[in-house]
Structure 1
């Protein structure tokens, strides 16, 4: 009899785990890298790229000679943060693709190597709140 009660209780617990209401609050991993391409402005000519299209663009850039050369030049002062925080945007109506690759400076500050259509442009710092007040 004890085995039957134990089996029924275990079955009830398992059933409630799948059928019962879950916690609707989910923990979100904080994004330490600000979004460079969405300033909340009314200018919709620049829009972020996500998903598989972003993955293709990032893979092409990271395997390019331009990126490898720039990464080796930055090696003395910067550390490559990785591909998870790379941001990609396109300019609407033009064939311009912008990629922001995060690097940590030895002092600990975050900067982005900016590439346009695969060519290195310059290092940029993330925008601040004052940059968006216009």
Structure 2
């Protein structure tokens, strides 16, 4: 009887340990690159960046995020009516945006605020998968 009771408790303990370990496994976002680009993907990226920093749509290169998982977006420099930069008015640092993939979902992360934007038009893959030498 003692052996049976011991086996029941040992089995219960093992099951609790396994369940606990399974709950602690979390998906980790990995730096990613786009698998392909299109005007729709570029517009989606511009709109998400605009949500994060405000202002007008930013200008992005056609090959944005195809080779690197990070881009820096500088704030616009305020200018006078003759187009000259206003002294002392440009205080914001550049914003870092990281393309990442988590559980097959392509996301854009604004590093300063930590905001995550799920991308629905963009398809991406882990940067280390496309460029294993990095």
Q: Under a length normalisation based on structure 1, what TM-score does the superposition of the two structures give? A: 0.32
Q: Under a length normalisation based on structure 2, what TM-score does the superposition of the two structures give? A: 0.32
Q: Which has the higher contact order (CA 8 A, sep 6+)?
A: 2
